[in-house]
A and B are shown apart, each in its own frame.
Chain A
Amino acid sequence: MIFTRRAVAAILASTLATGAAAQDDGPTRVGFIYVGPVGDGGWTYEHDQGRLAVEEEFGDAVETVYVESVPEGADAQRAIEQMALQGADLIFTTSFGFMDPTVAAAEKFPDVKFEHATGYKTADNLSIYSARFYEGRAVQGHIAGQITESNIVGYIASFPIPEVIRGINAAYLHAQEVNPDVEFKIIWAYTWFDPAKEADAATTLIEQGADVILQHTDSTAPQAAAEAAGNVYTFGQASDMSEYAPMPRVSSIIDNWAPYYIERTQAVIDGTWETSDRWDGIDTGMVGIGEITDAIPAEVKASAEDLRDRIGAGEYHPFTGPINRQDGSVWLEEGETADDETLLSMDFYVEGLTGTIPE
């Protein structure tokens, strides 16, 4: 039923958007397909900040439209095609689950440029882009391993896709590096955004002894649950979530899409747009590490900032061997670093993590 509701909402929203993009000539039209509401305070919020930055940058030369809360799957294709029919020149689809609908729409509309976030399929008019969130996860794990007293870190995961698994592995490796006794308890929420469910998941993890909560879901509900519980640390996800600083939120991963969106819009205006595969991290600022608060010990803060800077400078890769897979087999030899292909299709836990990844 939720799907029906969202579908209808999406159709309504796209109908409303028609008015703005009805005439033919004029400004370059850039469309955005969002998986959550722009007010989610996390993932979609940051994409919308990117959209607003595009408007700011180009003024009247560019017109943007967006559809929010589009369900992943067949309905997404309708929303994307609707947007293309309305004359969009460039369309960003901002969730992994929009991959196949975007591919299908790109085939139907060869003159429209498409950009799909966090996916892996490209075409002549379809680019992909993502951010190396795992670099931020490494910093989070590094902090989490040192500040946990119960040695239990809770992790609210969304869907079992490579991006999420990568995040778990990166966080775990760096937590274990500083604290060999650390244990990760993982809950798969099967949603990107469901505040009530995220709050329940956080509460459950806290009740089972976790005193640090990492989240890969987009709402601030886990932050609120941790705050209510008291001595529990959290990290902002996708957005700074600074309203929960300095406690429970002690740092965050901030997605900064604005420079990329501006660059790609410029390319369409100039006619220089080409298919690309962009995967940036801390180095270009696409992944930002939100301020590390003084709620954690100064030496932990200092070493976390050092780790952040070394990753940003390219001196250190968060997946540097020796690393074994969960079953004990060797993944990376001493000193070897992971290649992007393995990272992009990562479907295994590293050694030390318990439990299995859902199919």
Chain B
Amino acid sequence: MNLSAIDPILLLASLMVAATPIMLAAIGELVVERAGVLNLGVEGMMITGAVTGFVAATTTGSPWLGFVSAACGGALLSLVFGVLTQFLLSNQVATGLALTLFGLGLSALMGQGYIGIKAPAFPDWHVPLLGDIPVIGPIVFQHDPMVYVGLLIVLGVWAFLKFTQAGLVLRAVGENHDAAHALGYHVRRVRILAILFGGACAGLGGAYLSLVRVPQWTEGMTAGAGWIALAIVVFASWKPERLVLGAYLFGGVTVLQLNLQAAGVAVPVEILSMSPYLATIAVLVIMSAGRAPGSLGRIFHAAR
């Protein structure tokens, strides 16, 4: 065992990268669930975003266009879910699962011919001045721009839910859609917009995998990240600030266990591999998850 081989600065830096895709997907799903909709299709939207982002980025040569396309792709797929559940009143759980399966298949189809191709480079962004601070600089301020975009989105969602009237309406719709409807709010419209936002964020998370973290296209490459994102929303008790904590915890333990293994720590590898999930469950129990939005997963029909 040689723990000195682990550089804590590099470790913390890779933690932020490892956490970014699930954080992006989770913040989108958080908004969706706060609006009272349970969309289990995160995995499907992520992988659709991964492939559309990859196709757009390799075709145009611009990673930024890739991310924009990924957000559009994810949102477009989520619109299918939105129409089915909000207008045709289909069951949200079943529709969400179907969306995941559909997304996986669709992405495999779209990705034909893009296997083995390299993504255009997306260089790290050395933040001026801040990036030069010792220790903190390399940990926090020398990442690719999407890491900061992700954090800004979380910050934006937090401020939106806490300080804006629109955020209040969204929460009202999620807590009690009948009451919100009685007050004259457009339950469906609010939910469709939330679903679109959730899809766009999941798409960004997926594209982060295919354009930055891996970076290439392979079928099934999200490998369950969407489900982790769903768990992290519950873990975060539907609060954006806790969501960052959850994503970093999961990302951190994931990276740490790999480092411990490579350093030859005498802990059974099985336990190390399980540790990200164990840590998530443990904290979930300890923090005694908050109350879910009152109307979560319930079908809204104005006539009832």
Bound form: Cα–Cα A5–B97 in Å: 9
A238 interfacial contact with B, CB 8 Å? no
A188 interfacial contact with B, CB 8 Å? yes
Bound form: Cα–Cα A355–B108 in Å: 39
Query: Hey, which chain B residues are within 8 Å of A154, CB to CB?
Result: 262
A310 interfacial contact with B, CB 8 Å? no
The count of chain B contact residues (Cβ–Cβ below 8 Å) is 48
Bound form: Cα–Cα A203–B111 in Å: 25
Given contact pairs A41-B115, A209-B5, A224-B118, A195 touches B108 in the complex (Cβ within 8 A): no
Instruction: Find the B residue at minimum CB distance from A194.
Output: B223
Query: Hey, which chain A residues are within 8 Å of B215, CB to CB?
Result: 224, 228
Write out, one digit per residue, whether chain B residues 203-218 have a CB within 8 A of any chain A CB (1) or not (0). 0000001000111101
A358 in complex: contacting residue of B117, B225, B268, CB < 8 Å: B268
Given contact pairs A203-B14, A204-B262, A208-B262, A39 touches B104 in the complex (Cβ within 8 A): no
Segment touching A, from B76-84, B191-199, B251-259: B251-259
Query: Hey, which chain B residues are within 8 Å of A210, CB to CB?
Result: 262
Instruction: Find the B residue at minimum CB distance from A160.
Output: B269
Query: Hey, which chain B residues are within 8 Å of A340, CB to CB?
Result: none
Bound form: Cα–Cα A230–B10 in Å: 16
Given contact pairs A1-B224, A186-B262, A224-B216, enumerate 17 new A-B contacts (beta carbons under 8 Å): A1-B227, A2-B223, A5-B43, A5-B101, A37-B108, A37-B218, A37-B220, A39-B219, A40-B219, A185-B264, A193-B218, A196-B221, A196-B222, A199-B213, A200-B254, A200-B255, A207-B10
- Which 4 A/B pairs are nearest by Cβ-Cβ distance? A37-B219, A358-B269, A2-B224, A1-B227
A359 interfacial contact with B, CB 8 Å? yes
A243 interfacial contact with B, CB 8 Å? yes
Query: Hey, which chain A residues are within 8 Å of B263, CB to CB?
Result: 185, 208
B264 in complex: contacting residue of A40, A203, A224, A354, CB < 8 Å: A354
B261 in complex: contacting residue of A186, A194, A196, CB < 8 Å: A186
Bound form: Cα–Cα A201–B262 in Å: 9
Query: Hey, which chain A residues are within 8 Å of B269, CB to CB?
Result: 160, 188, 190, 358
Q: Is the CB of B223 within 8 A of A195?
A: yes
B164 interfacial contact with A, CB 8 Å? no
Instruction: Find the B residue at minimum CB distance from A185.
Output: B262
Instruction: Find the B residue at minimum CB distance from A356.
Output: B266
Instruction: Find the A residue at minimum CB distance from B216.
Output: A224
Bound form: Cα–Cα A224–B216 in Å: 8
B60 interfacial contact with A, CB 8 Å? no
Query: Secondary structure at chain B's binding surface: helix, strand, loop or mixed?
Result: helix
Write out, one digit per residue, whether chain A residues 217-251 have a CB within 8 A of any chain B CB (1) or not (0). 00111001000100000000000000100000000
Instruction: Find the B residue at minimum CB distance from A197.
Output: B223
Bound form: Cα–Cα A12–B14 in Å: 37
Bound form: Cα–Cα A196–B270 in Å: 19
Instruction: Find the B residue at minimum CB distance from A38.
Output: B219
Query: Hey, which chain B residues are within 8 Å of A193, CB to CB?
Result: 218, 220, 223
B18 interfacial contact with A, CB 8 Å? yes
The count of chain A contact residues (Cβ–Cβ below 8 Å) is 47
B292 interfacial contact with A, CB 8 Å? no
Query: Hey, which chain B residues are within 8 Å of A38, CB to CB?
Result: 219
A9 interfacial contact with B, CB 8 Å? yes
Bound form: Cα–Cα A196–B213 in Å: 7
Given contact pairs A207-B14, A358-B270, A2 touches B262 in the complex (Cβ within 8 A): no
A8 interfacial contact with B, CB 8 Å? yes
Bound form: Cα–Cα A350–B13 in Å: 35
Bound form: Cα–Cα A52–B182 in Å: 62
Bound form: Cα–Cα A160–B268 in Å: 12
Q: List 25 A-B contacts (CB under 8 A).
A: A5-B43, A8-B101, A9-B101, A9-B104, A12-B105, A39-B112, A40-B218, A69-B220, A185-B264, A187-B258, A188-B269, A193-B220, A194-B223, A196-B21, A196-B209, A196-B214, A200-B18, A200-B254, A201-B258, A204-B259, A207-B11, A208-B259, A221-B216, A224-B118, A358-B268
B116 interfacial contact with A, CB 8 Å? yes
A200 in complex: contacting residue of B97, B220, B258, CB < 8 Å: B258
Query: Hey, which chain B residues are within 8 Å of A219, CB to CB?
Result: 218, 221
Given contact pairs A204-B262, A208-B5, A39 touches B111 in the complex (Cβ within 8 A): yes
B91 interfacial contact with A, CB 8 Å? no
Given contact pairs A8-B101, A187-B258, A188-B269, A224 touches B214 in the complex (Cβ within 8 A): yes
Given contact pairs A355-B264, A359-B270, A220 touches B258 in the complex (Cβ within 8 A): no
Q: Is the CB of A204 within 8 A of B14?
A: yes
A205 interfacial contact with B, CB 8 Å? yes
B114 to chain A, nearest CB (A): 9
Instruction: Find the A residue at minimum CB distance from B256.
Output: A204
Bound form: Cα–Cα A113–B254 in Å: 42
User: By CB atoms of chain B within 10 A, which of A12, A154, A204 has the most?
Assistant: A204
B274 to chain A, nearest CB (A): 9
B273 interfacial contact with A, CB 8 Å? yes
Q: Is the CB of A39 within 8 A of B218?
A: yes
Q: Is the CB of A187 within 8 A of B227?
A: no
8 Å CB contacts to A: which residues of B90-111?
Answer: 97, 100-101, 104-105, 108, 111
Write out, one digit per residue, whether chain B residues 167-206 have a CB within 8 A of any chain A CB (1) or not (0). 0000000000000000000000000000000000000000
Instruction: Find the B residue at minimum CB distance from A209.
Output: B5
B223 to chain A, nearest CB (A): 5
